[in-house]
């Protein structure tokens, strides 16, 4: 049996224009992108080139000014705000540069948060959160609060929170940007494992060429367009 590689994310002819007062900022122009299922894609490019903007469009956190964004065959740019929020909860795991954990919740409770949007029972939520924390290697830190964890550990909690709902798509915006080399490497290994062993499709924005090397493909964003080569 031959396995056909399916396209998970399909972006075509997307423009993104921000308005700041009377000024218009053209960030993305006529951008096309296909991301196959189970790919680990790294996005690079200069600061302000629109990497986060593109990631937000893929994750349904923002809408294109023009063009279409389809994920798993669904036109997410056409969903209402409410349905888009529900769609995000079901299909996307987000990992942030500064972790964005709830400071007053324990690691366990932070990881359980996205499960509050499901119909799972309290005990089932606990169980799944525990599994997610085990996957990221933090079983021994479940009752710790974010401020008592190191940056690397906090980011692991962030990843556990992103995978706890078992989403198809993991979107990471500079996940190692705030970490030292060693912790960053551990996080990258974790993402790699999630990609290779569990088949998660990952899009990772990074400024770090070493980090990008862990991905299966790297694209560069410049002047609103994607290319396979970094521009000089």
Partner 1 sequence: MAGAFNWFSQIASITAVNLRSLPQRKGSSVTAVFGIAGVVAVMVSVLSIAQGILQTMDNSASADNVVVLRSGANTEMMSGLVGDDTRIIAEGPGLARNAAGAIASAELFVIINLLKKATGTDANVPLRGVESAAFEVRDKFNIIEGRMFEWGLNEVIVGVGAKMEFEGLELGSTIPVAQEEWPVVGIFEAGGGLSETEIWVDAAVLQPAYRRGNSYQSVIAKLESPESFEQFKDALTSDPRLNVKAMRESEYYESQSAMLYNTITGIGTFIAVIMGFGAIFGALNTMYTAVSSRAREIATLRALGFHSGPVIISIMAESLLLALAGGVLGAVAAWWVFDGFRAATLNMTSFSQVAFAFDVSLSLLTRGILFAMVIGFIGGLFPAVRAARQPVASALREL
Ligand X SMILES: Nc1ncnc2c1ncn2[C@@H]1O[C@H](COP(=O)(O)OP(=O)(O)OP(=O)(O)O)[C@@H](O)[C@H]1O
20 binds, among ligand X, Mg ion, partner 1, none (CB under 5 to 8 A by kind): ligand X
- Pick the closer one to Mg ion by CB: 52 or 68: 52
Sheet with 23-36, edge to edge strand ranges: 23-36, 7-20, 66-71, 74-75
Binding flags for ligand X, 21-60, as an x/- string (CB under 6 A): ----x-x-----------------x-xxxxxxx-------
The Cβ of residue 218 has, within 10 Å, a number of other Cβ atoms equal to 20
Residues 32-61 that bind partner 1 (CB under 8 A): 52-53, 56, 61
Using CB under 8 A as the binding rule, whether residue 25 contacts partner 1 is answered as no
Q: Is 199 in the site for ligand X (CB under 6 A)?
A: no
Q: Which one of ligand X, Mg ion, partner 1, none interacts with residue 50, CB within 5 to 8 A by kind? A: ligand X
196 binds, among ligand X, partner 1, Mg ion, none (CB under 5 to 8 A by kind): none
Residue 185 burial (C-beta neighbours within 10 Å; 0-12, 13-18, 19+): middle
Q: Does the protein bind ligand X through residue 119 (CB under 6 A)?
A: no
203 is an interface residue for ligand X by CB under 6 A: no
Looking at the Cβ atoms of 37 and 52, the one nearer to ligand X is 52
- For Mg ion, the binding residues in 43-72 under the rule CB under 5 A are 52
Would you tell me which residues interact with ligand X (CB under 6 A)?
A: 18, 20, 25, 27, 45, 47-53
Residues that bind partner 1 (CB under 8 A): 52-53, 56, 61-62, 81-82, 85-90, 94, 96, 98, 100, 102-105, 113-114, 116-117, 119, 161
Interface with Mg ion (CB under 5 A)? 52
């Amino acid at each position: 049996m031959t396995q056909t590689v399916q396209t998970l994310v399909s972006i075509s002819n997307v423009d993104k224009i921000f308005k700041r007062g009377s000024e218009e900022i053209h960030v993305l122009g006529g951008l096309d992108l296909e991301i196959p299922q189970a790919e680990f894609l790294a996005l690079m490019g200069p600061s302000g080139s629109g990497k986060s903007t593109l990631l937000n469009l893929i994750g349904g956190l923002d809408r294109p000014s023009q063009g279409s964004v389809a994920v798993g065959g669904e036109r997410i740019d056409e969903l209402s705000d409410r349905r888009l929020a529900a769609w995000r909860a079901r299909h996307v795991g987000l990992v942030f540069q500064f972790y964005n954990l709830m400071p007053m919740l324990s690691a366990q409770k932070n990881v359980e948060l996205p499960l509050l949007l499901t119909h799972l029972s309290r005990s089932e939520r606990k169980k799944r959160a525990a599994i997610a924390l085990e996957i990221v290697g933090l079983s021994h830190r479940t009752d710790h609060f974010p401020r008592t964890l190191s940056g690397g550990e906090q980011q692991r909690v962030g990843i556990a929170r992103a995978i706890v709902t078992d989403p198809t798509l993991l979107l990471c915006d500079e996940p190692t940007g705030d970490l030292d080399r060693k912790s960053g490497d551990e996080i990258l290994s974790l993402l790699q494992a999630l990609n290779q062993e569990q088949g998660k499709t990952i899009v990772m924005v990074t400024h770090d060429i070493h980090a990008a090397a862990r991905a299966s493909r790297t694209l560069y964003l410049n002047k609103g367009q994607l290319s396979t080569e970094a521009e000089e």
